[in-house]
Amino acid sequence: MSHDHLNAIDATIAHIPSPGEQFFPPFSVTPELEAQVAELITHYPEGRQKSAILPILHIVQKQFGFINPASIEWTASQTGVSAAHVLGVVTFYPGLRQKCPGKFHFRICRTLSCAMSGAEDLFEVICRKTNIDPASINHHEPIGVSPCGMWSIEQVECLANCGNGPNVLVNDLLFDKVTPEKVDEIIAKYKQA
């Protein structure tokens, strides 16, 4: 909805360009994806195929980086619901994103314990070190991506490790008690990978 030239309806599925897209394949229905999803749907009883929407969206997001209109429509066709319904699901969960993140996606906790142990300062440190513009991050576009497309950052709610804040999730790996020095180590480590 930050797209002022679009109306509020078209903006719900508008493509938000991101430098991270170079690291992910564009959405396409491959035979492997089809097989994986067909198997997933069998986990749910007959008539309840729409329960598979969330797991399908997770697979799509993992593989293609983000959820685009084509994947929304494909998910709807696979589960027998309307595209509007899937759109409602996608726009509801902050964990489902419509903008492509970088190759390495930092999710920094902003819930109480981490906030008290310095998560806000840490957020700015990571932005500076990865060359991400924190001003580009707002309610409607919660993900900031570096111009090189390698790095992206997003503030998230509790990562369930409150005793050891501040916590940062990089892709699927959790780092606790993160300090600015530790950020350097993490960046160096992923740069090599």
- Backbone dihedral angles phi then psi of residue 189, each to the nearest 5 degrees: -65, -45
Neighbours of 163 (CB within 10 A): 9
Residue of the chain from 2, 77, 82, 171 that contacts other proteins (CB under 8 A): 82
Residue of the chain from 54, 59, 83, 187 that contacts other proteins (CB under 8 A): 83
Give the DSSP per-residue string, 92-123.
H-TTS-SB---SEEEEEE-SHHHHHTTHHHHH
Residue of the chain from 2, 7, 30, 179 that contacts other proteins (CB under 8 A): 7
Tell me if 21 sits within 8 A of 100, measured CB to CB: yes
E strand segments, the chain: 104-109, 144-145, 151-156, 168-170, 173-175
- For other proteins (CB under 8 A), the number of binding residues is 19
CB of 134 to other proteins, least distance (A): 21
CB of 150 to other proteins, least distance (A): 30
Tokens representing 18 are 């991101």
88 belongs to the binding site for other proteins (CB under 8 A) = yes
| Nearest alpha-carbon partner for 152 in 91, 65, 88, 89 | 65
Tokens representing 172 are 């699927």
57 belongs to the binding site for other proteins (CB under 8 A) = no
125 belongs to the binding site for other proteins (CB under 8 A) = no
Residue of the chain from 5, 8, 32, 181 that contacts other proteins (CB under 8 A): 8
Q: Residue 185: what residue type?
A: E
* Distance, CA of 86 to CA of 188 (rounded, Å): 39
Give the nearer residue to other proteins in terms of CB position, either 139 or 172. Answer: 139
91 belongs to the binding site for other proteins (CB under 8 A) = yes
Neighbours of 181 (CB within 10 A): 9
**Contact window for other proteins (CB under 8 A) among 51-59, 82-90, 103-111, 154-162:** 82-90
Give the nearer residue to other proteins in terms of CB position, either 15 or 62. Answer: 15
CB of 124 to other proteins, least distance (A): 25
142 belongs to the binding site for other proteins (CB under 8 A) = no
Q: Which residues bind other proteins (CB under 8 A)?
A: 1, 7-10, 12-13, 69, 81-85, 87-88, 91-92, 139-140
